[in-house]
Structure 1
Amino acid sequence: MTDEDDIERIPERLHAVRASIDEATARSGRPPASVRLLAVSKSKPPEAIRAAYAAGQRDFGENYVQEMVDKARLLEDLAGIRWHFIGSLQRNKAKLAAGVAEVIHTVDREELATELDRRAAAAGRVIEVLVEVNVGGEASKSGCAPEAVGALLAAVKRAEHLRVKGLMAIPPYADDPEAARPFFTRLRALRDEHGGPSLLPELSMGMSHDFPVAIEEGATLVRVGTAIFGERARRGG
């Protein structure tokens, strides 16, 4: 839930997040603007997205396909807005996702890549995708196993209407951001094992509580929601 106070605070929160990104980037000795901010707008109303857009934000991440489609329709007047799909994606929702998302972060199996390629072809689009890796080996999370990354990358590269851009991961949650560092390091190492930044330029990792650590470990896309939009209500079943 986002109230008027939350919406009014979005510009200052965005400024603070961007400042933290810049600090972590400089601390890591990386070039300015080498990290892109993805504002995670799931469960937030169109008004909140408009406020972030007015403050200069262009990349927005959604976890639920129908919610993304509905928001894209309501906000189609916002030139240059880019929708990223960052939730678990079922094959039966691939058609909807392929019609809206510029980037899909959660390709975790060959069957999904094949279906997305087919749907993107039918829509006359080329979609950027990231391969999601379950770096923590958690049964509750999606993502391919680290040892399966090579085969999945090869499958995606065969798809004519998909462009594989890198890897994505959500490490096991811990209150201490430093606890995520080994998992971020592992994702970067996997990227380097499979072609490096020249072939896989994007590493989507880091969220509101740990994105500075992710940047220090090589993140190029950080997914930040709460620190921009405020707390979100639990999604009902």
Structure 2
Amino acid sequence: MGSDFVQEVITALDKLHKGIELGLEYQVSANVKLSLAGNLGEYVYASSPQVQINFDTAGAEEDLIDPEGNIDLGVAKLKGLKLAQGPQTAFAFGTEYRSPKYWWVGATTNYLANNFINISTITRTQSFLLDPDTGQRFPDATDENVTRILKQQKLEDIYLLNVVGGKSWLVNKKYVSAFVSVNNAFDKVFRSGGYEQSRNGNYGQLKQDNLSGTPSFAPKYWYGYGRTYFLNLAISF
């Protein structure tokens, strides 16, 4: 299939967001403070939208896919699947110590879970299950096999530790301060998101691609930062 322009059009797509957030802070003493923040959410597709592909062929020497310039793929079964909006469960617990001698240090541990990759809408349409040679459903495209091969991928849970600290001095009636932070202190390698590809146009292609063990069109991922450092020095006149 050759074309200059291909556009996927999704209509009547509803999303459902529900959850609870909390934030607590407790002053243990004049020097020590504890904090807790969290979110428990459920973000899902609330409907199954209509999917249409619009396209424009590149030249007269290429075969037209459809003289109308679009193909209606029907309804994509997305209802109830997870939205790819980052972790749906997140908690952060922090502790901080402030010394009377004008220095302080703090640490926050983070737990991030229920993070899902973005799904391909095309693979959830009825047309995806049809053999282009026969126009009939692939014989082995049973509900069980389709559910297994299209199971939405959940990314691994993540535990991160961030450390911060600072100190200030009074020098010749000027305040000199330093602030340093270390994020992801244990240099954790983690996937922060990703998406399914739509390059396999039907069930047969996707199944064959997966059989290789190293699919050519496997999901793509992006990764969070490893250990990072930040240093700030300031002079106040």
TM-score above 0.5: no
Query: Which has a greater percent of strand?
Result: 2
**TM class by shorter-chain length?**
under 0.3
Higher relative contact order, chain-length normalized (CA < 8 Å, sep 6+): 1
Q: TM-score, normalised by structure 2?
A: 0.19
TM-score with structure 1 setting the length: 0.19
